[in-house]
Amino acid sequence: MVAAAADLIPLESPLTDSFQKATGNRVRFAFGSSGMLTQQIRNGAPYDVFLSANEDFVRSLAEAGDIDRESVKVYAIGRIALWSKDGSVKDVGALLDPRVRHIAIANPAHAPYGVAARDLLSRLGLWPKLASRVVYGENVRQTLQYAESGNAEAAIVAWSLVFDRGGVLLAANHVPIRQVGGMVSRTRQAAVAARFLVFLAGPEGQAILKRFGFEPASR
């Protein structure tokens, strides 16, 4: 059982199918914000692997003994993107248009993509002008749903969710999204969990991540 950041939702079937084909082992995913999953692991949730979109969450779990220190590794670099339902919002400057009444980002309190979105807007000097129009999703998938439903005119989300849906890749001028995974110390499936992490960091896993818009872990 893999606890995985919500930006990995589109990769569930490719990773599941490829890992089973390569090893004969089955894998299931549970998705959520990295912060929420971190709390669940601290509270004893029966996961075997944690794939976070935030390095600090995994490192803190490793220090507390909840994640096997030796298993911790960067598996990808995430990127953020801008998405609007009608495709009219083509750059962050367009967010200043008064017709963009609501801008969805993931909650920075527990979602790394929200931290990156806020950081980018701050560095560009836009956050003070836009903060009152920002609405928060629990994770990047819910954030995208706000824009899909029309409850927000635009959303800043994971590139992996919108790279093939007219999303606009934003400059990496923000705190880096170093996505880190590790094996949960309480796992009863240690051999398979370790094998999955090796698979993810290997050529086949990295090829799948690249196909969905992630940058290589070696960066």
Neighbours of 171 (CB within 10 A): 11
> CA geometry: angle at 59 spanning 54 and 60, to 5°?
100
What is the arithmetic mean of pLDDT over 95-109?
97
Question: Same CATH topology for 2-77+176-211 and 80-169?
Answer: yes
Return the structure tokens found at 120.
Answer: 């980018």
Where do the structural domains in the chain lie, given as residue ranges? 2-77+176-211, 80-169
Contact between 75 and 200 under an 8 Å Cβ cutoff? The reply is yes
Q: Name residue 66's amino acid.
A: D
Q: Which residues contact 175 (CB under 8 A, 6 or more apart)?
A: 115, 116, 119
Query: Which is the CATH superfamily of the domain at 2-77+176-211?
Result: Periplasmic binding protein-like II (3.40.190.10)
Q: Name residue 202's amino acid.
A: G
| Residue range 80-169 in CATH 3.20.20.70 | no
Name the residue among 199, 166, 158, 155 with its Cα closest to residue 25. 199
Question: pLDDT tens digits for 9-63?
Answer: 999 999 999 999 999 999 999 999 999 999 999 999 999 999 999 999 999 999 9
Instruction: Give me the pLDDT at residue 52, please.
Output: 97
Return the structure tokens found at 142.
Answer: 């819910």
Please report where in the chains the tokens 């079937």 appear, as a residue: 13
SS3 62: helix
Instruction: Give me the pLDDT at residue 172, please.
Output: 92
Q: Is the pLDDT of residue 105 over 70?
A: yes
Q: Is the pLDDT of residue 218 over 80?
A: no
| pLDDT classification of 217: cutoffs 50, 70, 90 | confident
Q: Name residue 154's amino acid.
A: A
Q: Is the pLDDT of residue 1 over 60?
A: yes
State the burial class of residue 135 (Cβ atoms within 10 Å of its Cβ: 0-12, 13-18, 19+). middle
Tell me the sheet residues that pair with 67.
Answer: 184
Enumerate long-range contacts of 16-23, CB under 8 Å, 24 or more apart: 18/199, 18/204, 18/205, 18/208, 19/196, 19/199, 19/205, 22/199, 22/204, 23/192, 23/195, 23/199
Q: Whole-model pTM?
A: 0.93
Question: pLDDT tens digits for 181-198?
Answer: 999 999 999 999 999 999
Look over the chain and give the mean of its residue pLDDT values, rounded to a whole number: 96
